[in-house]
Amino acid sequence: MGKGMGMSMEREERRPCLREAILAQDGRRFPGKSYADAVLVPIFEQAKRYLLQPMLAIHRAHLVMLVEQGLLEADAGRRILAALDGIDPAEVAARSYDGRFEDLFFYIEQLLIERAGEVAGNLHIARSRNDMGVAMYRMVLRRQILQVAEAMLALYRTLAELAAEHVDTLTLAYTHTQPAQPTTLAHYLVAAADVLGRDLARLQRAYDLVNRSPLGAAALTTSGFPVDRRRVAELLGFDGLVENSYDAIASVDYLTETAAALQLAFVHTGRFVQDLLVWCTHEFGALKLADAYVQCSSIMPQKRNPVGLEHARALLSSGAASAAAVIAMLHNTPFGDIVDSEDDLQPHLWQAAEVGARVFRLLANITGTVEVNRPLLEQRARASFATVTELADALVREKGLDFRSAHGVVSRAVRRAEEHGRQAAGITAADVAAAAREVLGRELAVDDDLVRRALDPAVFVAVRRVTGGPAPDEVRRMLAEREATADRLAGWLEARERSLAAARQRLEEACRAVRGERGAPTFRD
């Protein structure tokens, strides 16, 4: 017998032993212990926290619809509803996973059967865990979107209010991390608010996609029972249906669109936070955070560590990573009902949304209490050569030079000033005239007043009245429009909250009708 053959037989002898050892430890029936520990226990805990209330609401709405459609007798409906009413969420939350039931759905179903009898099994007429699961995820997600949007709106308003205080605060704008041109702090802040506004608009669109009901799709082909999908959607506060039943079960774009909207908001806001952190450095010295968001060193008494912004930056990165995980987990998955889009994925999106609700509120409070060093920002703007674009423009307007020639003249004048250790304000008409002789080969009559006005950062800002520019009146116009945008966003949020509250009221009234309570509305014809 060859050596290779002997090793192969030895492996074959070991494999049954390994199999028996695994089965002895894990068990021979579903669920195996390792499967339960790795999958079912975490899922059960997550479901208790996030999905119990949506599940109970779906049970009630489906029950109402079955009774209204004559698919469930009124007496049976009352018995099942009484059993539903008797479920104590605190009692369910205290229960640990013991393997008797695969998941929360089957545990709740067993509670209903124990309390209402076998008739409770009819609650699952024309329904599947497939359409229930997607509906629950959508109900959780729509609430989280509104919470994130509310926090983002708070930051949006704070940025606009801070901008209104700094319409005349001169500062330098940077390109490639180098001083570029003078602007105002308000001009910068409106830009940051505009990005956030577009992020909010993306989140609004995600909400519109999320808040569509898959219920009635059942496993994926609907049912032979004459169910009313629109009635269930109405009772649960959905704005409409995911009409195609296969789409209702198989599609994941409600997840990816929300994840993408959140990820983009985190990435974009992170760039703004990075600027704030730089501006808080001792060397830059432009901003000072309120003491509530600053930590002292354990050893260095002088330190004012801007930990509020540092934690915000870390949370934004964490949220972006959680959102990215959602999209990564769905890449190259089949277009159908799969667990990949369910219990293992959902916590990543829940985590991203919860981070968003926290971090945007934190940033609203930090920026709403920040102190700005106006004199230092203006001093830097006046000392910088960032104003010289306006000097080139002035030579075009008042001396008839083409811009490229004016650019060359001013560039040479800047070098002359630097060679003599002078700042921008030290550039004189003589410097410009000398530069013109070198660059143009001819004299150029320029007076000191023209040069002085052109190099004043306040003049630089004031003359830039083009739409979207930093001139104070133009910024004030933009701010008025942003205030209107904030009001529209607030109105959208309030309308969504009212819609969900009205649906809860409709569902309660419909349940009262099932119970036969006095004064309850009668069933629809």
Q: Are residues 85 and 119 in the same domain?
A: yes
Contact 504, 237 (CB under 8 A): yes
Q: Are residues 84 and 201 in the same domain?
A: no
φ, ψ of residue 178 to 5 degrees: the values are -115, 150
The predicted structure's pLDDT at residue 272? 97
Report the C-alpha gap between 401 and 432 in whole angstroms. Answer: 13
Q: What is the tally of structural domains in the chain?
A: 4
| CA-wise closest residue to 143 among 511, 510, 499, 487 | 499
- Whether residues 283 and 237 share a domain: the answer is yes
Residue 447: pLDDT above 80?
yes
Q: Given a cut of 50, is residue 259 above it in pLDDT?
A: yes
pLDDT digits 0-9 by tens, 102-142 = 899 999 999 999 999 999 999 999 999 999 999 999 999 99
Which residue in 449, 411, 443, 415 sits closest to 429, CA to CA? 449
Could you tell me the CATH number of the domain that includes residue 435? 1.10.40
Q: Are residues 166 and 257 in the same domain?
A: yes
Question: Is residue 469 situated within a structural domain?
Answer: no
Q: Tell me the pLDDT band of 6, cut-offs 50, 70 and 90.
A: low
**520 domain-assigned:** no
Query: What is the tens place of the pLDDT at every residue in 459-503?
Result: 999 999 999 999 999 999 999 999 999 999 999 999 999 999 999
Interatomic CA distance for residues 387 and 374, integer angstroms: 18
CA dist 322 and 459 (Å) reads 47
Range of the domain at 445: 384-462
- Neighbour tally for 321: CB within 10 Å: 16
pLDDT tens digits for 301-336? Answer: 777 889 999 999 999 999 999 999 999 999 999 999
CA atoms within 13 A on the CB side of 391: 31
Q: What is the pLDDT of residues 262-311, one digit of tens each?
A: 999 999 999 999 999 999 999 999 999 999 999 877 777 777 889 999 99
Are residues 67 and 109 both part of a single domain?
yes
User: Any bridge partners for residue 173, and if so which?
Assistant: 181
Is the per-residue pLDDT at 24 higher than 80? no
Separation of alpha carbons 501 and 495, rounded Å: 10
320 and 263 in a common domain: yes
Q: Of 69, 241, 194, 220, which Cα lies nearest the Cα of 485?
A: 194
Average pLDDT of the residues in 230-245: 98
Q: Three-class SS string for 251-286?
A: CCHHHHHHHHHHHHHHHHHHHHHHHHHHHCCCCCCC
Give pLDDT tens digits for 29-52.
Answer: 777 788 888 888 888 899 999 999
